Structure 1
């Protein structure tokens, strides 16, 4: 399930879509899958290179006597900067001025934690700080691959390409090639991804399932399901064993094609493969597809198998269970899993609350959703607009605009910041009330929100405003809307052409 969210979409990016529908790929295969594999196989010598004695051998004797600093203390200082524009370098320099020793192992651990919580910019800044101190920190291909991944996410795919082209040959291996392939797949750049994949095969960097899984994910996201089948056939011809992720992608592809029979055939093949043990992700993927195809009994049976295969303290598996039981329509099961989840974890993440509230709204249990929302308000550290948006969206759809506006005002007064979707929800409320000027004002705010690059207005809302303008004879507002779309580049989007022409 996480492939789509991991490579292309994150589980956090719901935008009013339930988790069960927005996530339908195998878990455990994030966009940094190449980098995870690298970390898992990293030899212990890397740590030795980062040791005090290694630093001392470079001549920086001062660091030998400095008191150690725990990586999590550095992470907290970076993540809690009052002004993020100061950058990670400011924190790291201050740590050193205070006489604390910073080792490469600790800094890489900080980067790992920042990436875990999608704090890509400060993570990249940590690497840039180390790059400026080459006499102390030796760069490996693993570091380079992670840095390329971060550059793609922070600065864009062109910057990542340029970074890769400038690398010396000693830093170009399966890790860095794999990171660039991941970046192309996230950007859905098909030609570039296919070309790079061929180069990887020519250089012997495609000897296992991982790069094939990535390219299959591209075809899955592009809805080119026949290509997924072709890649599987190619792997079989070249004697490259399918791993658990390969099978899960293949299962998803069959489900999206609407073929229960084909999906079940793949699952049977999976069970016959003695190297593969179907995990909770396999059954949650199948449950999601059964729900999509209206096979609720089979979906419920898969969800029972999911529960028996959860190991360790895996939060995301409970998120899927809550959402998928909601998709099946079993409210009692949603609450049962929620209570188990709360008994296992002392604190619930925003994603957990988002999943639960989203599921209850989908089930029509608005009172329950409001109660969970009130619970979240008591424990939240900061306002997450995505959670507020869930209730606001329901209120607007039910014609309760004042309640939606009330939630918005409470969030702003509490220090929360609306995202683009928040403003568009308010715009939808104004559209329903035939308040053209207010709707346009909200859309303008949505466009102006920082980090709104992934957002674009719903074509249905644009259509509704234009119809209102026509009914009211308001050519000025129509021109304003078209100008706003042109200014933001949305006017070139084919989705809006039928309404603008």
Structure 2
């Protein structure tokens, strides 16, 4: 068993130089994982920042001041802990699945065929980068990829129209409601982000006693409630679950949903409750803490690792991947490499997604030779026999600007029937290299071969958006409509971005409103934020508040980034803002360090040394 160990070298500030520069050093050695945040607090906030090994208690002073006490089996922190950044709409979220232990930064390289996917959720879809609970965690017994890609007859029956009516007719016709058929229908609904409809199916099955619920079924229902109606409704639902089924799986589902919303205080509360209920401390639960701390409060990663060591929780491969990503994001390449060495020493295999994550960080650090060496390792001896890595190679060589390598790999694809995931990666790679004609040619080939979904179109749309090709983007959206694609939240997001890049913010706003009125779907969080940020830059408080209100109407609450943007709007308008702290408190949110500094500037009663003299 691999144990996380700490040494005094990594737990204390060892030199006055560290005090002078105001940063923490990351100490990571084989069998020793110690993670501090690269931050620059004032020296008076740092002088007691250390572990007290006698009681395994971690104290901090200053603004953050979290406290972690292993011996009390409790994790706690001040709600106003300093945050390094807010990742509500961070691209990084696309790398992570908060509910299943997938690879960091690698899910885009294991794309299933999406030729039949709908876009969005007719019941009000969540953000498109939010992933599902795995079938092993919540969705009954569908375990093989073949069944995951099938469309069930039951799904076809419930996908349109009232769910209750469709299920009643199903039963009246004498059709069997087998667990396998139910599982497949729910998988298809969740893949399309149709959480509300999937929830209605489970509720009908439960009320009509057509399915004997297991712990997995209750967890699946809780997950769908959280996605459709919010975390508080899901938390209340636990009280209605029979006591015999209120186990670790149910609470870990709630924990993961909370972590995916970046709700730090609630995530810690749920974890503490799990411990008070004496539920087992699993790598999955610890990974949820690591994920949210990675995004919000990296200082606490060390606390989780210490707890895992004390509780003999064996790190999963995903634990290592999170730590690799943390190191890579902080540009600590040596630390990242040491984690890899520790993985190898413990016999943990580096799959190609982990290698892809490493390669991305090497590329970001400008280590071109090291990146290319790793890509050759990923490719292997015979690319034709290792086709699953083709999307990874296309994207990463494009990041390096290697047109020749992208051409070589694409020729390998063309020598055999390319898969749709190969084509999508090629379009993305050519777009990254600003080779528009090549990207369009691959896309045209795809459209002639497969019936494409709006999600497929969105890749080319995003390229047009990034390169500010408004007319091409409009033509592509028209083509989508003509082909019968459902124009939903993902397409709206691209269209809004197109108009924003063209400097037409009011047009972007009106297009979004028209789309919502026509389709009754919920826009992505990022779509609202794109418009809101532009209004805030102008100092347009009225319209910034308007978008803020619409965000809340759509259910996007308990997120700190909209408050950042709203505060910035008032600052840019040079207007005082009243009650923002109170509005945040109503959402169970507290200002992080950056927002607190903004709010001080907005305080109409703030006095400076000069004003004191004048008074």
Is it true that 1:145 corresponds to 2:219 in the alignment? yes
Equivalents in 2 of 1:182, 1:412: separation in Å?
36
1:301 maps to which residue? Answer: 373
Q: Deviations over 1:151-176 (max 9, x none)?
A: 21222222211211222211101111
1:442 maps to which residue? Answer: 511
Pick the aligned partner of 1:157 from 231, 253, 260.
231
Change (3 A) 1:456 1:9: farther
2:482 maps to which residue? Answer: 413
Q: CA deviation at 1:370?
A: 0.6
Q: Which one has more relative contact order, counting CA pairs under 8 Å at least 6 apart?
A: 2
List runs of 5+ in structure 2 lacking aligned partners: 1-91, 110-129, 553-560, 574-615
List runs of 5+ in structure 1 lacking aligned partners: 21-28, 45-70, 471-477
- For the 8 Å contact 2:536–2:544, the answer to whether it is kept is no
Equivalents in 2 of 1:72, 1:439: separation in Å?
37
Matches within 5 A, 1:414-493: 414-420=483-489, 422-423=491-492, 426=495, 438-445=507-514, 450-457=521-528, 463=534, 481-482=543-544, 484-485=546-547, 487-489=549-551, 493=563
2:525 aligns to what SS in structure 1?
coil
2:136 maps to which residue? Answer: 36
Change (3 A) 1:353 1:160: farther
- For the 8 Å contact 2:101–2:318, the answer to whether it is kept is no
Equivalents in 2 of 1:107, 1:340: separation in Å?
40
1:53 maps to which residue? Answer: none
Task: Name whichever of 431-440 and 295-304 sits farther off.
Answer: 431-440
1:68 maps to which residue? Answer: none
Equivalents in 2 of 1:286, 1:72: separation in Å?
29
TM-score normalised over the length of structure 2 = 0.61
- Cα RMSD (Å): 4.2
Equivalents in 2 of 1:302, 1:81: separation in Å?
48
2:117 maps to which residue? Answer: none
Q: CA deviation at 1:390?
A: 4.3
Matches within 5 A, 1:70-219: 75-80=151-156, 84-87=160-163, 89-134=164-209, 136-219=210-293
Is it true that 1:369 corresponds to 2:469 in the alignment? no
Task: Name whichever of 228-237 and 488-497 sits farther off.
Answer: 488-497
1:6 aligns to what SS in structure 2?
coil
Change (3 A) 1:343 1:170: farther
Change (3 A) 1:132 1:346: farther
Is it true that 1:320 corresponds to 2:411 in the alignment? no
Q: Deviations over 1:376-398 (max 9, x none)?
A: 322343541x4444444544555
Q: CA deviation at 1:146?
A: 1.5
Q: Deviations over 1:233-263 (max 9, x none)?
A: 3212322211211111111111112101111
- For the 8 Å contact 2:532–2:565, the answer to whether it is kept is no
Change (3 A) 1:179 1:284: same
Q: How many residues align?
A: 442
1:57 maps to which residue? Answer: none
Change (3 A) 1:194 1:163: same
Equivalents in 2 of 1:73, 1:360: separation in Å?
28
Task: Name whichever of 124-133 and 76-85 sits farther off.
Answer: 76-85
Task: Name whichever of 74-83 and 374-383 sits farther off.
Answer: 74-83
Equivalents in 1 of 2:459, 2:149: separation in Å?
34
Equivalents in 1 of 2:431, 2:462: separation in Å?
10
Change (3 A) 1:486 1:10: farther
- For the 8 Å contact 1:395–1:404, the answer to whether it is kept is yes
1:451 aligns to what SS in structure 2?
coil
Change (3 A) 1:260 1:235: same
Q: Which has the higher helix share?
A: 1
Equivalents in 2 of 1:108, 1:166: separation in Å?
23
Q: CA deviation at 1:121?
A: 3.3
- For the 8 Å contact 1:325–1:333, the answer to whether it is kept is yes
Matches within 5 A, 1:10-25: none
